[in-house]
Amino acid sequence: TTINGKDHTMTLEQSIDLAELQADMAFDAYLAAFDEDAHPETLDSLETEALIARSRYDDLRSQGLGH
């Protein structure tokens, strides 16, 4: 399975790997902000981004397991 992007084509496996990396990075950013006692609105925003990234990863992973 391939996913066609604007400038390139990625396999589903590559897309899953990228989504996992993005989810990990978003969660790390949230943890770093939490450790630095960031403003609550900043924490909320970073938490939301991390949850969205994780959801995207989970969705792609489910697609991959279905093939």
The whole-number pLDDT of residue 22 equals: 98
The whole-number pLDDT of residue 1 equals: 54
Give the Cα separation of 16 and 32 in Å (integer).
24
- Predicted confidence (pLDDT) per residue in 1-55, tens digit: 556 666 678 899 999 999 999 999 999 999 999 999 999 999 999 999 999 999 9
The whole-number pLDDT of residue 47 equals: 97
The whole-number pLDDT of residue 65 equals: 82
Q: 12 and 62 in contact (C-beta within 8 Å)?
A: no
The whole-number pLDDT of residue 31 equals: 97
